[in-house]
Structure 1
Amino acid sequence: MAQNPILTELRSLRDQVTGVMETAVATVDGLLVVADTDGARPEVLSALAAATLGLGKRTGAEVGMGDLREVVIRCRGGYVIVYAVGRMGLLAVLADEGLDVPRLHVESRPTVERLDALLTQGSLN
């Protein structure tokens, strides 16, 4: 059986960037598409990431900074990063304190583009 191409992208990002622990792709309204998680509840993560994305988009628009690329939340135990994927999707990344943040930003851009293409093929956009 062929592996889900979105899940392949998520696992690849985890493999390429030190510190990435869990990932999920969801719609902007919080519906889970695919998750690569071990401890997080993927449906809850999707809903919270959608709220985070919406707030980030609204804040960026209000202050005139243009389209949102990502929201970075740093916690005592690590990071939560939410990337906009096209108009209708998002990528949520959970990472530990050892996250290589610059590498994540470099690797995430092409990953987000590929995810957008995959979601568009699946008629989410």
Structure 2
Amino acid sequence: MGRRTKVAMTGPEPDGAVLAELKALRDRIPRLTGTLVASNDGLLIAHDLPDHLEPTGMAAMTATQLALSYRLVTTAHGGSFQEVVVNGSGGHVVIYAAGWTALTVLAAPEVNIGRLHLESRPAARAIAARLSALTTTDARNGQPLETE
């Protein structure tokens, strides 16, 4: 079998404010191992992941978990999806709804989940607001997009 290699993906540069939010989140929570933002259809928007994790694959898995969790919540209780926590022996993966995107946070097993939620929920809201503002303005000049 051949060796797998990472292929650089080309596309628009991630928004600086979103990257800053991800880095600030990692600074506020000791033992946070990575973060990423993905669209609900699996496209990578921004990430602050360690080198051994493939960001586009993580974005695709985030979208899959988001869709499954959304379906589970609406089937069981109705209402909207907010977050899902996956605990493993190697750590936690938490996915937060963030508008039309999702914030995924990876943390070591000893991280306090309550603290993680306390810091990550506002970050998810800030990211959703920033990306929502970008979709309603022209990224080239910051002017509102014209609608017909």
Partner of 1:89: 101
What's the RMSD between the two structures over aligned residues? 1.4
1:79 alignment counterpart = 92
Q: Give the equivalent residue in structure 2 for 1:40.
A: 53
Q: Is the 8 A contact 1:21 1:96 kept in 2?
A: yes
Equivalent positions of 1:46-65 (< 5 A) are 46-65=59-78
**Quick check: which has more Rg, 1 or 2?**
2
Q: What is the rounded CA distance, in whole Å, between the counterparts of 1:20 and 1:55 in structure 2?
A: 25
TM-fit CA distance, 1:65: 4.7
**Which residue of the other structure, out of 104, 107, 118, is the alignment partner of 2:130?**
118
When you count strand as a share of all residues, which structure comes out higher?
1
- Give % identity: 36
Q: Is the 8 Å Cα contact of residues 31 and 108 (structure 2) preserved in structure 1? A: yes
Instruction: Kindly state the Cα deviation for residue 121 of structure 1 after the two structures are TM-superposed.
Output: 1.8
Deviations 1:61-88 (A, max 9, x none): 00115211111111110011111101x1
Distance of 2:79 and 2:58 partners within structure 1 = 25
Q: Distance in 2 between matches of 1:14 and 1:100?
A: 14
TM-score (norm 2): 0.78
Paired positions, count: 121
Amino acid at match of 2:110: G
Larger RCO: Structure 1 or Structure 2 (Cα < 8 Å, ≥ 6 residues apart)?
Answer: 1
CA distance in 2, matches of 1:111, 1:22: 14
Structure 1: gaps (5+ residues): none
Please state which structure has a larger fraction of its residues in helix: 1
Tell me, in whole angstroms, the C-alpha distance in 2 between the residues paired with 1:90 and 1:83: 6
* Segments of 4+ moved more than 3 angstroms: none
CA contact (8 A) 1:18 1:98 kept: no
Q: In 1, distance between residues paired with 2:125 and 2:77? A: 24
Q: Deviations over 1:11-58 (max 9, x none)?
A: 111111122110000100000000001121110000001100110000
- SS of residue paired to 2:59: helix
After TM superposition, the score normalised by the length of structure 1 is: 0.91
Structure 2: how far apart are the matches of 1:12 and 1:102?
A: 18
